Amino acid sequence: MSDKDVVIEAVGLTKSFKDFWGRPKAKAVNDISFEVKKGEVFGLLGPNGSGKSTTIKMLLGLLYPSRGALQVFGKSPRDVKVKQRIGYLPEETYLYKYLSAHETVDFFGALFQLSREDRKKRTQQLIEMVGLKNAGKRAVGEYSKGMARRVGLAQALINDPDLIILDEPTSGLDPIGCREVKNLIKTLAQRGKTVILSSHLLADVQDVVDRVVVLYGGQIRAQGTIDELLLVENKTKIVTPRMSKETLDRVLKILHEEYSPEQLELSHPKLDLETFFLDVVNRARKEDVHTAGAQAGDFADYLKGAVVEKAQAADEENGEFSALKAEKEVSAKLAEIVAKDDQPPQVEHTVDPKENNFKVEEKLSGLMENPPVAEPSSLEKEKEIIKTQEEDLSKVNDKLKNLLGK
Ligand SMILES: Nc1ncnc2c1ncn2[C@@H]1O[C@H](COP(=O)(O)OP(=O)(O)OP(=O)(O)O)[C@@H](O)[C@H]1O
Ligand SMILES: [Mg+2]
């Protein structure tokens, strides 16, 4: 593999947060080294506070490493050319509540200086892809958490990035949404995109990633491909249709000639990422490895009960069923979008961000001139909400300008 195929190279990466007087407060990331190659889906795992988001923020050039070397596309992550090739879904979706999903995605497209036509075409396709076709014209302030997450995903892809960094992409999504995101990640990787994702949903991670690192207390505790980490090497598993007793007896007779009964087991070995992850974390705890993050305590006794387990089992059953159904739908949808790629745009309604700011101003002055019949206190509240929204928007703008290095 040539150097140009290495998308991210981190060597001895360290980040310490200092307090007001410059004294070290927390070592969020402590001397980690890893490499991510083109077309790879790379998972960052670890318990709360283990350094995942801090690592991601360094990859985005939003935080300076305290020590170590970091290169993205062979350059500093703070290089504007590098930033233009990255799509980022932050841990929390910050959206301007009065814009619709269409307007939001279009607005981000404008920040990337895409032409109006490109923005229209891409926005329509993205909104459809993330499953918001029917709600795309509604203000995102009315959206549920999962719907807002979907807008965030669409926004992260508007610049057709080569590297997509997703911090907890499935948080807040229902099982179907999770499945859709997983399919989307796989499709992106098949198209040569590199994807980095952090998640606590290990089953989701296991389904899509090629390689993972497991962080604990800011350090890498395990790293490798899913096969390397999870393969049970000294055992063989043969899967057959359900055997009749006679066939089973015959097979066991042959096996007994070679192996002792203790060496054979009929229930096949099964190790999932969840077991592996908990094992890594438990070992780190036993070794008393320092972490500035959270450590789970025991579940409160009074909350334990069969009802909870039953509900979980039912959820799992439903989730699996709906997810399977959804997988087919999503694949069909993705194929449709790919096929549509060259068709002319059909979006009729996009709004210039400037126009929208004007709308807010208009609304504010309208409110001040003609106060609604409502109580003065509720008018005050409304003004405050609008003010907060404007502040939110300006924060998002600042962040994006920072991201784009402008
Ligand atoms: N701006 C900051 N100032 C001080 N400490 C910080 C800051 N950001 C993160 N930390 C600390 O760094 C450590 C790692 O935090 P980080 O957000 O990277 O964890 P994480 O793995 O993303 O956790 P989570 O799963 O909860 O999102 C934590 O101890 C956290 O308190
Ligand atoms: Mg985080």
Percentage of the chain surpassing pLDDT 90? 30
* Amino acid 338: pLDDT: 46
**Mutate-to-test residue for ligand 1 from 25, 44, 53, highest number of ligand atoms within 8 A of CB:** 53
133 CA from centroid of ligand 2 (Å): 29
In a domain, 200, yes or no: yes
What is the edge-to-edge ordering of all strands in the sheet holding 194-198?
Answer: 86-89, 163-167, 194-198, 41-45, 211-216, 219-225
* Amino acid 202: pLDDT: 82
What residue owns the CA closest to ligand 1's atom 4?
Answer: 17
Is there a contact between 214 and 223 (Cβ–Cβ < 8 Å)?
A: yes
- Of 139-143, 197-201, 311-315, 378-382, the one with minimum mean pLDDT is 311-315
pLDDT tens, 329-358? Answer: 544 554 554 455 444 433 333 334 444 444
Q: In terms of DSSP H, where are the helices of 130-174?
A: 145-157
* Amino acid 248: pLDDT: 85
In a domain, 251, yes or no: no
Is there a contact between 211 and 34 (Cβ–Cβ < 8 Å)?
A: no
For residue 279, give the DSSP letter: H
User: Is the beta carbon of 46 within 6 A of some atom in ligand 1?
Assistant: yes
Q: Give the CA count within 13 Å in the CB-facing half-sphere of 190.
A: 9
- Of 9-18, 31-40, 258-267, the one with minimum mean pLDDT is 258-267
Structural domain harbouring 197:
3-230
Give residues whose Cβ lies within 5 Å of ion ligand 2.
52-53, 91
Tokens of residue 260, six digits: 């002792």
- Of 187-191, 223-227, 235-239, 278-282, the one with minimum mean pLDDT is 278-282
pLDDT band at 241, cuts 50/70/90?
confident
pLDDT tens, 49-103? Answer: 999 999 999 999 999 999 999 999 999 999 999 999 999 999 887 888 899 999 9
166 CA from centroid of ligand 2 (Å): 11
* Amino acid 2: pLDDT: 53
In a domain, 25, yes or no: yes
The residue that leads in pLDDT, 331 or 37, is 37
H or E stretch at 184: helix 175-190
Residue 292 has pLDDT above 70, yes or no: no
264 CA from centroid of ligand 2 (Å): 43
User: Is the beta carbon of 49 within 6 A of some atom in ligand 1?
Assistant: yes
In a domain, 307, yes or no: no
What residue owns the CA closest to ligand 1's atom 10?
Answer: 28
pLDDT tens, 170-181? Answer: 887 777 777 778
The residue that leads in pLDDT, 72 or 160, is 72
In a domain, 140, yes or no: yes
* Amino acid 45: pLDDT: 92
Residue 31 has pLDDT above 80, yes or no: yes
In a domain, 379, yes or no: no
Residue 328 has pLDDT above 60, yes or no: no
pLDDT tens, 181-212? Answer: 888 888 888 888 999 999 888 878 888 999 99
In a domain, 165, yes or no: yes
* Amino acid 94: pLDDT: 82
Residue 138 has pLDDT above 80, yes or no: yes
* Amino acid 401: pLDDT: 65
* Total count of domains within the chain: 1
**Residue 115 maps to which CATH number?**
3.40.50.300
In a domain, 270, yes or no: no
For the residues 160-174, what does the mean pLDDT come to? 88
Residue 154 has pLDDT above 80, yes or no: yes
User: Is the beta carbon of 295 within 6 A of some atom in ligand 1?
Assistant: no
Mean pLDDT of the chain: 75
- Of 8-22, 45-59, 207-221, 268-282, the one with minimum mean pLDDT is 268-282
Phi, psi (deg, nearest 5) at residue 42? -115, 125
Is there a contact between 404 and 86 (Cβ–Cβ < 8 Å)?
A: no
**Mutate-to-test residue for ligand 1 from 13, 14, 17, highest number of ligand atoms within 8 A of CB:** 17
